[in-house]
Structure 1
Amino acid sequence: MALLSGETMGTFWSVRYVATTGLSSSALGAAIAETLDHIISEMSQWRADSLISAFNRAPQGTELRLPPDFRTVLDVALDVARRSDGAFDPTLGRLVDIAGFGPAAPEDGSASFPEAVQCAGWKRLPYAGGRIVQPGGLALDLSGVAKGHAVDAVTDRLAQDGVAHMLVEIGGELVGRGVRPDGQPWWVDLEAPPGIAVPPLRIALHGMAVATSGNYRRGNHMLDPATGSPIVNGVRSVSILHDRAAYADAWATALTVLGPEAGLRLAEREGLAARIIADQEHLSAALREMLE
């Protein structure tokens, strides 16, 4: 089994794979870097020259035709926004900056926060035919879904290059395809927050993805779209298993925002395999069935 690794998106990536392709490890590493750099050039609000930064600065009425990766990510983001009744919202860019979690310095003055709340809202974003229009003052923030998409994209790129068996990870979000050299699936332990006694949970990633959202990593950095303020609902972490990491990523954020009770209800309604950890552990029916 071979291993490749590096840095991206402010975190680390790794790929464990069984060499079933004629490409060298350096060629595969270059393909991974190219895939990640392309996504960053489109969707990183930390880069002033990215496509998302250009849209966020654009004057009202500016239309943008989305390239394939950007469109895929926005499709997922808006789908989860709709199905979660806005618990996931990709239009909080200005509020993220005000809270001090984005690339821009926090703004001073009480007037900036109400204005940012008014400008946000996924329903304000005109989107049709692969095009979005800047409605005025709206700033996209795709950090709740782009990393998951990056895991999917790297996995798909390696599959195209002939890699059939791999475990791809970016910052704790993983996709497993095929099996290990010993014929076993890719076993991973679901991440749990420190200081809470929950039983270990090991899962087999065979054609599956997992993403975990947790406020214990960088403090309370997640915003409630309904208020624009950091969430305070007792959730410590949410893990979602899905066939696509982008969806796992977005759903983990949505359930974290909703809280343990409402989050679990949404997971049951949507058939999501979810583990929510607050003062205790909550497992959705879909996850319990997977573990049986």
Structure 2
Amino acid sequence: MSFWRGLFGSTRPPVAAQRLQTFGGDTMGTRYNVKLVATTGPELAAIQTEAHAAVAAVDAQMSTWKPQSDLSLFNASEPGDWFAVSPDLASVVALGLEISALTDGAFDMCVGSAVNHWGFGPDTAPVDVLAPPTDLPSFRSIAVRLDPPALRKTGPVYLDLSGIAKGFGVDAIATVLERHGIAAYMIEIDGELRAKGTRPDGTPWRVGISQPKPGATGVHHILALPTTAMATSGDYRRYFDVAGQRYSHTIDPRTGRPTTSTVASVTVADPDCARADALATALLVLGADKGPAMAQHLKLDALFLIRDEGGLAEKMTGRFDRFFG
């Protein structure tokens, strides 16, 4: 009896099945959500703890809403001297400066004072739509050093990382999952996401691009994701109206005013979510003509949803159509 059991029915405990696991939490004024393929047990609990700690650290370092964050302390510092910051903050600012240079300033972290002026930052002063900010520092006012990590400004500058920090938070969670050997996952923070592998049944991770209309809950496109990161910027979620004019939370750093183009949303795919996040913001600012031209120049896979008289028109660059299916 034991002979046949040894051949056909091992007495070793069965290997736990890999199945879909989910968890999430609050961060950066919104929520993060993680789906992964793994077994239950102590390792999954450790992954959840480490993922939450990773994204909480990003918020603690890069929030303008937290007075004691690294970023807030740098914003309050005097110009001239190097200001020590965390390695992650230095890396994010370095990437932001790279995207600023690539997009001719359409993405610029120095937009913070204008963001506050229009009431989209922690400063809740009444908005004067007739007097936009005139003192517009640019990314050229910022220097970054990675070792030892530090920032320096040459004049009064208020950095705002809302166009890149959520993407970096997604990447930070991905780093935790990769460290634990997770080969299949999807991470999302407020529309910025990163996917790898497939679901347990072998089908791809699927996400929806929202209809870019205020208050809409429908989906414009369903995308099937390979291993990639993706970010969407739009002008339809955070805004206010004055005298029939809509003012979006996306600020054009070159004018200090909310964007007024016909582009409703831009979705960009890239290996890194932080980079996709910043590029999507820049392309939205550039508008319906210059945005696709810049995306083509940078060889980006991007989808533009553009308002026209018939509703919404689409422009795609690169191989974005490979995500339809």
Taking structure 1 as the reference length, the TM-score comes to 0.91
Q: Which of 22, 34, 49 pairs up with 2:68?
A: 49
Retained in 2: the 8 A contact 1:21–1:163? Answer: no
Match of 2:176 in 1: 157
Among candidates 285, 290, 306, match of residue 262 of structure 1: 290
- 1:217 is matched with which residue? 237
Corresponding letter in the other structure for 2:259: I
Cα RMSD, aligned residues only: 2.4
Q: Are residues 1:283 and 2:311 paired?
A: no
Which one-letter code corresponds to 2:315 in the other structure?
H
Instruction: Give the match for residue 87 of structure 1.
Output: 106
**Which SS does the other structure have where 1:277 is aligned?**
strand
The counterpart of 1:186, out of the listed 199, 202, 205, is 205
Number of aligned residue pairs: 288
* 1:38 lines up with 2:60 in the alignment: no
Q: 2:221 is matched by which residue type in structure 1?
A: L
Distance 1:200 1:104 in 2: 34
Within-5 A mapping of 1:216-255: 216-219=236-239, 220-255=248-283
Tell me the SS of whatever aligns to 2:161.
coil
The CA deviation at 1:11 is 0.9
Residues 112 and 210 of structure 1, relative CA distance in 2, 3 Å threshold = closer
Q: Distance in 1 between matches of 2:315 and 2:196?
A: 27
CA contact (8 A) 2:22 2:36 kept: yes
* Change in 2 beyond 3 A, CA 1:59/1:106: same
Residue number in structure 2 paired with 1:177: 196
**CA distance change for structure 1 residues 24 and 131 in 2, over 3 Å: closer, same or farther?**
closer
Q: CA deviation at 1:288?
A: 3.5
Measured after TM superposition, the shift of residue 25 of structure 1 is 3.5
CA distance in structure 2 between the aligned counterparts of 1:18 and 1:283, rounded to whole angstroms: 32
1:254 is aligned with what amino acid?
A: A
Q: Which residue identity does 2:270 align to in structure 1?
A: H
2:253 counterpart SS class: coil
Gaps of 5+ in 2: 1-19, 240-247, 308-312
Residue 267 of structure 1 and its aligned partner are, at CA, apart by: 0.5
| Distance in 2 of aligned mates of 1:266 and 1:98 | 28
2:259 and 2:285 in contact (8 A); partners too: yes
Match of 2:118 among 80, 89, 99: 99
What corresponds to 2:90 in structure 1?
71
Shift of 1:99: 1.0
Q: Separation in 2 of the partners of 1:111 and 1:170?
A: 34
Question: Shift in Å at residue 154 of structure 1?
Answer: 0.3
Q: How far apart in 2 are the matches of 1:285 and 1:24?
A: 39
Tell me whether 1:203 sits opposite 2:231 in the alignment: no
**Local SS of the residue matching 2:134:** helix
Q: What letter corresponds to residue 75 of structure 1 in structure 2?
A: A
User: CA offsets per residue over residues 237-292 of structure 1, 9 Å max, x none?
Assistant: 11111111111100110000000110000000001111111121111133236659
Give the letter for the 1:43 counterpart: M
The percentage of counterpart residues that share the same residue type is 35
Report 1 or 2 for greater relative contact order, CA contacts < 8 Å, sequence distance ≥ 6. Answer: 1
Residue 216 of structure 1, CA deviation:
0.5
Deviation of 1:113 after TM superposition, in Å, equals 2.5
Indicate conservation of the 8 Å contact 2:119/2:127, yes or no.
no
Provide TM-score, normalisation by structure 2. Answer: 0.82
Contact 1:271 1:286 in 2 (8 A): no
Alpha-carbon offset, residue 24 of structure 1: 4.0
Q: Secondary structure at the match of 2:261?
A: coil
SS in 1 for 2:46: helix
Q: Tell me how far apart the structure 1 counterparts of residues 72 and 190 of structure 2 sit (CA, whole Å).
A: 23
- Aligned CA distance change for structure 1 residues 112 and 200 (closer, same or farther; 3 Å): closer
Q: Which whole-Å CA distance do the structure 2 matches of 1:156 and 1:108 have between them?
A: 40
Determine if contact 1:191/1:212 at 8 Å carries over to the other structure. Answer: no
Structure 1: runs of 5 or more not aligned:
none
Match of 1:168 among 152, 170, 187: 187
> Measured at CA, do residues 112 and 234 of structure 1 come closer, stay the same or move farther in structure 2, by a change above 3 Å?
closer
Determine which structure has the larger strand proportion and give its number. Answer: 2
| Residues 1:27 and 1:14: Cα distance change in structure 2 (over 3 Å) | same
User: Offset at 1:165?
Assistant: 1.1
Please list, as runs of the form range in 1=range in 2, the aligned pairs for 1:8-23 lying within 5 A after superposition: 8-19=27-38, 23=42
